[in-house]
Amino acid sequence: MDTIIEFKNASKTFGGVAAFKKVDFTVKPGEIHALLGENGAGKSTLTKVMSGVYRLTEGKLLFDGREVDFGSPSDALKSGIAMVFQETNLVPAMTVAQNLYLGEEKIFNRLRGLNIQARQFLVGMGFQVDPTAQVSTLGAAHKQMVEIARAVHHKARVIIFDEPTATLTPEEKRHFFNLLSRLVKQGVAVVFITHALEEALQVADRVTVMRDGEIVASGKAADFTRNSVVQAMVGRNLTETLHGSAQRTPRPYGEKVLSVENLSCAGLVRNSSFSVFAGQVTGMFGLVGAGRTEMAKVVAGAMKRDLFHGGEIRLFGKSVRYRVPRPAVMDGIVYVTEDRKLDGFFETMTAGQNLQIGELSNGDNPFSIVSLSRAKDLVADWGSRLKLKQISDKARMIELSGGNQQKVVIAKSLIQKPKLIIFDEPTRGVDVGAIVEIHQLISELADQGMAVVVISSYLPEILAVSDRILVVKRGRVVEEMMVADATEEKIMFAAVH
Ligand SMILES: Nc1ncnc2c1ncn2[C@@H]1O[C@H](COP(=O)(O)OP(=O)(O)OP(=O)(O)O)[C@@H](O)[C@H]1O
Ligand SMILES: [Mg+2]
């Protein structure tokens, strides 16, 4: 038995447009198979067919040599195919343990037993997650761990991970990759979608690259280099790279737009002070969970009010304290969320309608009405600036690929014409080509005089976009440096020690 999954001449169309077409693709037991490609290439859709979310429009899917046609994800799971989705799929109002054993309600009755069992299981996987915690209180990384644990618990023979590592700390990543190698040793087949190309080449046995819904390259990981993958992905050589900061002269300090003094919040932010200046990009580096998101959310009024303990926030010297985002937006502060599915957009509306909502919320539209033609103009304009790719203008946000959703979230924030804009992990889930575009856009905003903050856990990104770098550790800004003086080692040292 050398293949467990086989697609033969397979296509999937939505409203007559192909998400992927005429695909031949195999997965073998005991291998890690990386699936790569630009945003909208068709990766998630292909794996969603394997896991029972969608059915093929044409062609065949074989599992264990037999043709299958799963009607639902639970059908696929019963056969032994589990998928950890790009956007988390857990039930927020339930605890970690309840999510882990979802569908096995008979053991729900013994709550204590359930929690003990869950704790043992999680510890065994090297995950530090409290089984009694409600999932809605968990950060992205921990949610991801619960999903991974769920797939493992179901003893799946094929496990598909859609961008699993984007939210993990280096330490958690190590655990995750160890876990993968344990799984494949037991004969499990792993399909692994990622935009972190070096990582993919390191851990994968085989690599398949998709472009515009077709497979353009496939083979042993050892036979690929980062460059050959990128070239296959985009069909040309990408000359721009992320690393280019050292030669760049940092932008000078403009007016002090924001100053935060002794901010404390819910034990996550502890007596933190920092300032942000106009016409500059301030990078905020820290490990996942360091408290960067919470600092940003307090500033932008996106944090629950009862969690705010104390400190002073000044915008252009004036003391402010926002309890909801709207007045912050009116004063020119916009926070671009890391958790796009939860609070980035309205998922049943189109991209154009979402952009229009961005426009309405800055009070610039004198009519305050939603018009179809305006939505169209906005999409045409921003869509071409950010190379938005969607099947049609009528597609709802949930029908867009993950990276394209992120682009809409960014565009929507820019339409609000902020004076201070805070990007939280702006390129998570975005492909190599689009990352360069988003970085360029961030750079232009600073050139136009905007105060820009970029929160990122990805060091090359911080070095590529920042003029000034703040390092955050355990709820506090612990170090500040200009990019010219910064090195990866220096920043990492400050973030960890
Ligand atoms: N339910 C749907 N309805 C309509 N179009 C869809 C649907 N799901 C996906 N598509 C479209 O199919 C194409 C492929 O999307 P897919 O999500 O597979 O891309 P991807 O390779 O996973 O991209 P990313 O890296 O951004 O996650 C996109 O153009 C997307 O808009
Ligand atoms: Mg995807």
- Distances from the Cα of 114 to the Cα of 1, 128, 129, angstroms: 37, 17, 14
- Distances from the Cα of 374 to the Cα of 126, 354, 381, 408, angstroms: 51, 11, 11, 16
Amino acid letter, 54: Y
Q: How far apart are CA 319 and CA 86, in angstroms?
A: 39
**Bridge partners of residue 11, in order along the sequence:** 58
Q: Which pLDDT score is estimated for 47? A: 96
- pLDDT of residue 237 exceeding 60, the answer is no
- Distances from the Cα of 71 to the Cα of 64, 76, 181, 445, angstroms: 17, 8, 30, 47
Q: How many CB atoms lie within 10 A of CB 439?
A: 20
Nearest ligand atom owner, CA of 40? 1
Q: How far apart are CA 164 and CA 192, in angstroms?
A: 8
- 473-491 CB burial, b ≥16 within 10 A, e <16: bebbbbbebebeebeeeeb
Q: What is the mean pLDDT of residues 462-473?
A: 94
Top CATH class, 256-496:
alpha beta
Tokens found for residue 250: 């940092």
Q: How far apart are CA 234 and CA 387, in angstroms?
A: 13
Higher pLDDT, 479 or 381: 479
Confidence of residue 222 (pLDDT cuts 50, 70, 90): very high
Q: Which pLDDT score is estimated for 468? A: 96
Q: Ligand 1 center to residue 40 CA distance, Å?
A: 5
DSSP H/E element including 13: strand 5-14
Q: Any idea of the CA torsion for 460, 464, 466, 469, to the nearest 10 degrees?
A: 30
- pLDDT of residue 106 exceeding 50, the answer is yes
Over residues 370-386, the pLDDT tens digits come to 677 878 888 888 888 87
Terminal-residue alpha carbon distance, the chain: 49
Choice among 48-62, 134-148, 196-210 with the minimum mean pLDDT: 134-148
Confidence of residue 60 (pLDDT cuts 50, 70, 90): very high
Q: How far apart are CA 235 and CA 211, in angstroms?
A: 8
Q: Which pLDDT score is estimated for 242? A: 54
* Ligand 1 first shell, C-beta below 6 A: 14, 19, 37, 39-45, 86, 389-391, 395, 399-404, 431
Q: Whose CA is nearest to atom 31 of ligand 1?
A: 400
| Full DSSP string of 292-324 | HHHHHHHHTT-S-GGGEEEEEEEETTEE---SS
Domain residue limits, the chain = 5-234, 256-496
CB-count exposure of residue 280 (10 Å: 0-12, 13-18, 19+): buried
**Span 5-234: which CATH code?**
3.40.50.300
**Ligand 1: which of 401, 404, 428, 438 to mutate, most ligand atoms within 8 Å of CB?**
401
| Full DSSP string of 29-86 | TT-EEEEEESTTSSHHHHHHHHTTSS--SEEEEEETTEE---SSHHHHHHHTEEEE-S
Q: Hey, is 346 helix, strand or coil? A: coil
Going by C-alpha positions, the residue among 85, 290, 267 that lies closest to residue 171 is 290
According to the 3-state scheme, what is the secondary structure of 100-129?
Answer: HCCCCHHHHHCHHHHHHHHHHHHHHCCCCC
Token pair 């004036």: residue: 318
256-496 and 5-234 share a CATH fold: yes
Q: Whose CA is nearest to atom 6 of ligand 1?
A: 399
Choice among 131-135, 254-258, 386-390, 473-477 with the minimum mean pLDDT: 386-390
CA 28-38-404 angle, 5° bins:
120
Q: Which pLDDT score is estimated for 245? A: 45
Over residues 300-351, the pLDDT tens digits come to 988 876 666 788 999 999 999 898 888 898 899 999 887 766 667 888 888 8
Q: Across all residues in the chain, what is the average pLDDT? A: 86
Q: Which pLDDT score is estimated for 308? A: 66
Q: Ligand 1 center to residue 42 CA distance, Å?
A: 6
Nearest ligand atom owner, CA of 402? 1
Q: Ligand 1 center to residue 324 CA distance, Å?
A: 33
Q: Which pLDDT score is estimated for 407? A: 87
- Distances from the Cα of 246 to the Cα of 239, 299, 462, angstroms: 17, 30, 12
Residues 126/168, Cβ–Cβ less than 8 Å: no
Confidence of residue 272 (pLDDT cuts 50, 70, 90): very high
